[in-house]
Structure 1
Amino acid sequence: MEERFAFLAEWYDPTAALLRRYQLLFYPKDSSVEMFDMKNQRTFLRRTRYEGLLQDDLFVGSRVNIFSRQLNLVGYGDQYTASKLGSKKERTLAMIKPDAVTKMGEITQMIYDANLIITKAKMTKLSWKQAADFYSEHQSKSFFNNLIQFVTSGPVVAMEVMGDEAVSTWRKILGPTDSGLARKDARQSLRAQFGTDGTKNAAHGSDSLASAARELEFFFPSTTGHGPSNTATYTDCTCCIIKPHAISEGLTGGILASITAAGFEISALQMFSVDRANAEEFFEVYKGVVDEYSSMVSELCSGPCMALEIRGTEAPRTFREYCGPADPEIARHLRPSTLRAQFGRNKVQNAVHCTDLPEDGILEVQYFFKILDG
């Protein structure tokens, strides 16, 4: 029998203001999909080849885009799918500590290189109380005050990392808690490369599935709002969005590292899943101006993107220059060191969006970090 995977999927229909439920079937042999309307008990989409969907995209909690329709995968549709695709998939918390935030690009790349994916991310600055709550199990230890002082000394980047045996895989990437020991015993580890000692050790990882669930709920609460607030300043800034295609191709780490190496400060960072109405609103200034408007909208809502607040001297102008021409082919000929030349594929999938007009820099940052995260 031909292999197929089944998922329960939900789609919010904005026209009817209804949440619709489907069974989504995926056939890996020819990358074809089929959808069955569960309420009306009828085929919604006959089996159709769909190149834009990969088997790696399919896991409970993922958001996939099929023919411009964003589907949330909320459950496995049968036991075979659950046992084949769900058994080893885990979520864990990866937190970049204040001493290594400038190395977030390199650290992100290490995550992708280990076949893990980042499904949520947020830069935040913890208060003393928040940090004490997060590290509550260390409250009686002698190093507790030093740890809290350090972790509140600057921003941190919290990430939900997902993949096969993610808890142990991420802990292995981290290496020993003491950075000095890591340099002796695990020289390729993250802490060996970026840590200083046992407290200033670059990053944190959950030590068990139970800890991961608690720590992820702390940063990304499912029921009680937004968790710790973002770090956007809305001053002397411009907006950068790492587009969904670049996220799914594992280019995020390289893009972040390039931005930092070019001398720009990433002062806020957050992953968003943008719906079509918000994408249309955000790109409204391009409607009727560029031929690619509707393709730009479709790309932005095709999967998770990462919004950045970028600061630097005359940030909107200088960062736009650093992104390069909108068409990566032109960028590769004329300005090969720009972001789009390095990471872009075509005029729509050109790796990053950046603010075009200097006066729109703060407005675009506000759209993501105030309105969408409001």
Structure 2
Amino acid sequence: MSQRYAFVAEWLDPNSGVLWRYQLFYYKDTNELEMFDIKNRRHFLKRIKYDGVTLQQLYIGSTIVVYARQLRLIEYGDDFTRQSIEARAEKTLALIKPDAVKHMGKIINAITTSGFSITNMRMCQLSRADAEAFYAVHAGRPFFNTLCSFMTSGPIVALELMAASSITKWRDLLGPTDSSTARQQAPNSIRGLFGSDGTRNAAHGSDSPANAAAELSFFFGKGSSVGRCARCSGTTLGLIKPHAVKDGLAGMMLDCIQEVFDVTGLQLFALDKPAAAEFVEVYKGVVAPGEFSAMVDELVAGSCIAVEVADREGGEAVEPFRQLCGPLDPELGRVLRPHSLRARFGVSRVRNGIHCTDLQENGQLETSYFFRILQAA
């Protein structure tokens, strides 16, 4: 008999504004879904195979899409589900430090291939006050000033990682605190590969559940605006699409981008349908109606990663980055620009790996939409 996981899910009807609640059941062995309308006490969706949802996506606070309905999981439906999911859903904070931001694509790739889910992420530029607050537990120790100066010397990337025993698992992947020791004892660890010494050691990880909760709140708590760094001027936008994030391609794509450009802003977003439709509204009437709907559905199918991209020499970034992304259709890209991002990571015109700003005058508009309007929401 297939293991059954039970949740309570909410769906906000974008047309009527009515909030619906469902019992949602997921059958692991057969990858089937079943839904009951709680208010009307009737089947909404009879048990059916549905390949768009996996067990890894199911945890409290996550958003899944079932037949174009964006459902948010708000409660466990039974004790079995609670115990099973919480056992694999421990969260920890990971920080990519200033010395390793240039390697963030490789580090993110190591994270996803090691079995972690990235459930939150943002690039920050810490102020001195931010750094002193985050490292307050070390105030008065000999290395405190050096550490705070280093952590404010450039952007960092904060990530919320989820996995079974994620705190221990991430610290094992990090390796010993001192990078020299890491190169000897764990040469393939994050610090062994990308660190320099005991302070410039590539990345940080929480050391206990209590510290993980406090550190995650520092960067991702409600209303937190620590270290906002996107320029929203003279830059362009790349939006790594949900299918690419889900397939673990984001790290490799960021690596390709950083070979040529500077990344000056980065954040994980879970778009709702109105926001997705507003963002791609410029394509309405340009592409076929079915393709426009499919574009919206793709953007709400999971988390996407907004990337603010800048030219290294301070020049115009929109057109050069568009060239790196390649033609909208990956099949055409594989003929004309086989090394472009869409040719390498795209599947179809809709699931083509990455969105990029098309017009010079829209660079500021699109970066501001994500890094000012949505970030502040």
TM-score range, shorter chain: over 0.9
**2:258 alignment counterpart:** 260
Q: Is the 8 A contact 2:14 2:273 kept in 1?
A: no
Q: Report the residue type matching 1:285 in the other structure.
A: V
Normalised to the residue count of structure 2, the TM-score between the two structures is 0.95
Work out whether 1:299 is the aligned partner of 2:298.
yes
Summarize deviations over 1:36-68 as a string: whole Å, max 9, x none.
122333222222221111122112222111111
Map of 1:90-129 to 2, 5 A cutoff?
Answer: 90-129=90-129
How far, CA to CA, are the matches of 1:54 and 1:144 in structure 2?
44
Unaligned runs of 5+ in 2: none
Query: Which of residues 274, 280, 285 is equivalent to 1:283?
Result: 280
Work out whether 1:192 is the aligned partner of 2:192.
yes
Work out whether 1:63 is the aligned partner of 2:76.
no
Q: Is the 8 A contact 2:167 2:206 kept in 1?
A: yes
Q: Give 1:191 shift.
A: 0.7
Find the residue that maps to 2:87 and give its secondary structure. coil
CA gap 1:177/1:326 in 2 versus in 1, 3 angstroms = same
How far, CA to CA, are the matches of 1:44 and 1:24 in structure 2?
10
Summarize deviations over 1:343-367 as a string: whole Å, max 9, x none.
1111111000001111111100011
Q: Give 1:309 shift.
A: 0.7
Find the residue that maps to 2:30 and give its secondary structure. coil
**2:177 alignment counterpart:** 177
Summarize deviations over 1:102-159 as a string: whole Å, max 9, x none.
1110000010111001111111111111111111111121101100011011111101
Q: Report the residue type matching 2:282 in the other structure.
A: V
How far, CA to CA, are the matches of 2:297 and 2:323 in structure 1?
25
After TM superposition, the structure 1 stretch with the greater mean CA deviation from structure 2, 35-44 or 202-211, is: 35-44
**1:326 alignment counterpart:** 328
Map of 1:20-59 to 2, 5 A cutoff?
Answer: 20-59=20-59
**RMSD over aligned Cα, in angstroms?**
1.3
Find the residue that maps to 1:182 and give its secondary structure. helix
Q: Give 1:229 shift.
A: 4.2
Q: Report the residue type matching 1:42 in the other structure.
A: R
Q: Is the 8 A contact 2:96 2:203 kept in 1?
A: yes
Summarize deviations over 1:249-279 as a string: whole Å, max 9, x none.
1111000001011x11110001111111111
Normalised to the residue count of structure 1, the TM-score between the two structures is 0.96
How far, CA to CA, are the matches of 1:90 and 1:227 in structure 2?
24
Find the residue that maps to 1:373 and give its secondary structure. helix
Q: Is the 8 A contact 1:178 1:201 kept in 2?
A: yes
**2:308 alignment counterpart:** 309
How far, CA to CA, are the matches of 1:146 and 1:214 in structure 2?
23
CA gap 1:88/1:285 in 2 versus in 1, 3 angstroms = closer
How far, CA to CA, are the matches of 1:120 and 1:143 in structure 2?
29
Map of 1:2-13 to 2, 5 A cutoff?
Answer: 2-13=2-13
Q: Is the 8 A contact 2:322 2:356 kept in 1?
A: yes
Q: Is the 8 A contact 1:239 1:308 kept in 2?
A: yes
Unaligned runs of 5+ in 1: none
**1:244 alignment counterpart:** 242
Q: Report the residue type matching 1:343 in the other structure.
A: F
Q: Report the residue type matching 2:132 in the other structure.
A: A
How far, CA to CA, are the matches of 1:128 and 1:230 in structure 2?
14
Query: Which of residues 332, 341, 364 is equivalent to 2:366?
Result: 364
Query: Which of residues 262, 268, 271 is equivalent to 1:271?
Result: 268
Q: Give 1:165 shift.
A: 1.1
After TM superposition, the structure 1 stretch with the greater mean CA deviation from structure 2, 326-335 or 93-102, is: 326-335
Q: Is the 8 A contact 1:218 1:227 kept in 2?
A: no
How far, CA to CA, are the matches of 1:19 and 1:293 in structure 2?
25
Runs of 4+ in 1 over 6 A off after TM superposition: none
Aligned residues: 371
Summarize deviations over 1:157-178 as a string: whole Å, max 9, x none.
1010111111111101111111
Find the residue that maps to 1:169 and give its secondary structure. helix
Find the residue that maps to 2:257 and give its secondary structure. helix
